[in-house]
Amino acid sequence: MPIPTELVGSLPRPMKLQDAYESYDQGKITFEQLQAEQDAAARDSIERLQETGETIVTDGEQRESSFATYPITDTLAGTGLADNLAGDGQYFAIFDDGHHRQLPRLTGGPFRYKTYASEFVEKNQAIASKPVKQAVIAPSMLMLLHPLEGEIPGYSREQFLDDLCDEVEKDIRQCFAAGAKRVSIDFTEGRLANKNDARNPWTGKDMLQEFIDLNNRVIDRFSPEERKNIGIHTCPGGDCDSVHSMDVPYEKLLSKMFQLNAGYFLIQCASENDKEKVYELCGKYSRDDANGVAQVCFIGVINPLSPEVETPEQVKDALVAAAKHIPVERLGATDDCGFSPFSRDVKPKHGSPDFARDIAMQKIRARVEGARMASEELGV
Ligand SMILES: [Zn+2]
């Protein structure tokens, strides 16, 4: 079987759509008018991805406030926030360029999603002529909605985590029921968990094992057959062309991440200084039997934070090098991250989000072609 290839999920939102989100926040347009812009950008994303040769497509998350907050708020500014949440929660991350992203704060129970990702899958299935994938958020991210210390009166932390796991399971099951071929779980907080950034207290609490155990509580509810198509995405962040945890030694995460009983992993690598080390660690720690499923390592061969377009030859060379450490039947190709995980992202290194969309398509085309060339060279 040729080396499979898959995108993480997001694409930059056209400036017109970003402006529509802002107008909606300001009450200048209705939700229906915002949705019309989202739908137009989603259709454009799917059609252009199909033209690149991408075998499995998404809407580029055009209808989502962000990869992390789509279940609980319509916009990043907090318009349409779900019940029992306030806007002033923990920082999810502080990025290297100084900007930060903040999560809402849980104020009471019960915790329920307002929007399930299957809504997007249903709409995308009606547009796409190729199989559709959907990225969903991990329970380990949303557990940070709970204040780091203390309890919420009348709603124990334990009850919250039970409710959260049920909601994430439902989110994934509904995506498959709506026709998604693959569902990947965004786990960008994994590497950040060892950051020890005093400005962001949760990153100093050694929470990685807790994250992994919580995520497995959900993943283990699925059969091996289902888990073949449930993935995990890891990265050092990718927002406004900046990162949040590239300085955290990757081994701290990679030595533990494959404890997750998922069938495949979308692993940032192209932007690492020492790629060989990443291939080695993935080869060493990924398992050919994770409770009944072999773990496929999709290696990041494209850097979505740089406007420089990789060549198919570079992609091919990276995959051939990776195959020296990772069995080729468990090797895939991906991008280091989504191209714009948050809806508001002007892609500063690219000059504009519209230009960044064009660049993204060129990069994806190079990945698809490079994976084909590597398959040929490796005889698979
Ligand atoms: Zn990412």
Dist. CA 152 → ligand 1 center (Å): 31
The confidence score (pLDDT) of residue 194 equals 96
The confidence score (pLDDT) of residue 144 equals 98
**Separation CA 134–CA 112 (nearest Å):** 20
Q: Please report, for residues 31, 108, 153, 159, the alpha-carbon distance to residue 156 in angstroms, rounded to integers and kept in the order given.
A: 34, 9, 7, 5
Dist. CA 30 → ligand 1 center (Å): 31
The confidence score (pLDDT) of residue 265 equals 99
Dist. CA 268 → ligand 1 center (Å): 8
Query: Which residue, 216, 139, 213, 217, is CA-closest to 171?
Result: 139
Q: Under the phi-then-psi rule, with left for phi > 0, alpha for psi from -120 to 50, and beta for the rest, what region is 221?
A: alpha
Q: Give 147's contacts (C-beta < 8 A, 6+ positions apart).
A: 89, 90, 105, 106
Dist. CA 253 → ligand 1 center (Å): 14
- Strand 182-186 with 230-234, pairing: parallel
Sequential pLDDT tens for the chain (380 residues): 999 999 999 999 999 999 999 999 999 999 999 999 999 999 999 999 999 999 999 999 999 999 999 999 999 999 999 999 999 999 999 999 999 999 999 999 999 999 999 999 999 999 999 999 999 999 999 999 999 999 999 999 999 999 999 999 999 999 999 999 999 999 999 999 999 999 999 999 999 999 999 999 999 999 999 999 999 999 999 999 999 999 999 999 999 999 999 999 999 999 999 999 999 999 999 999 999 999 999 999 999 999 999 999 999 999 999 999 999 999 999 999 999 999 999 999 999 999 999 999 999 999 999 999 999 999 99
> Can you give the pTM of this predicted structure?
0.98
Dist. CA 236 → ligand 1 center (Å): 7
**Measured at the alpha carbon of residue 171, what is the angle toward residues 67 and 208, in degrees to the nearest 5?**
60
Dist. CA 2 → ligand 1 center (Å): 25
Encode pLDDT of 9-38 as tens digits.
Answer: 999 999 999 999 999 999 999 999 999 999
Dist. CA 52 → ligand 1 center (Å): 21
Dist. CA 93 → ligand 1 center (Å): 12
Residue 128 has phi, psi (to 5 degrees) of -80, 145
SS3 of 360, please? Answer: helix
Query: Which residue, 356, 360, 353, 361, is CA-closest to 14?
Result: 353
Dist. CA 151 → ligand 1 center (Å): 30
CB contact at 8 A, 130 and 57: yes
Dist. CA 10 → ligand 1 center (Å): 9
CB contact at 8 A, 92 and 78: no
Q: Look at the alpha carbons of 100, 22, 105, 118 in this order and tell me if their dihedral is positive or negative.
A: negative
Dist. CA 29 → ligand 1 center (Å): 31
**Separation CA 163–CA 139 (nearest Å):** 10
The confidence score (pLDDT) of residue 133 equals 98
List domains and CATH numbers for the chain: 15-378 (3.20.20.210)
Dist. CA 347 → ligand 1 center (Å): 15
- Strand 100-102 with 91-94, pairing: antiparallel
Dist. CA 94 → ligand 1 center (Å): 14
**Separation CA 105–CA 79 (nearest Å):** 15
Dist. CA 234 → ligand 1 center (Å): 6
Q: Please report, for residues 104, 333, 374, the alpha-carbon distance to residue 298 in angstroms, rounded to integers and kept in the order given.
A: 32, 5, 13
Dist. CA 63 → ligand 1 center (Å): 18
Dist. CA 34 → ligand 1 center (Å): 25
Dist. CA 272 → ligand 1 center (Å): 14
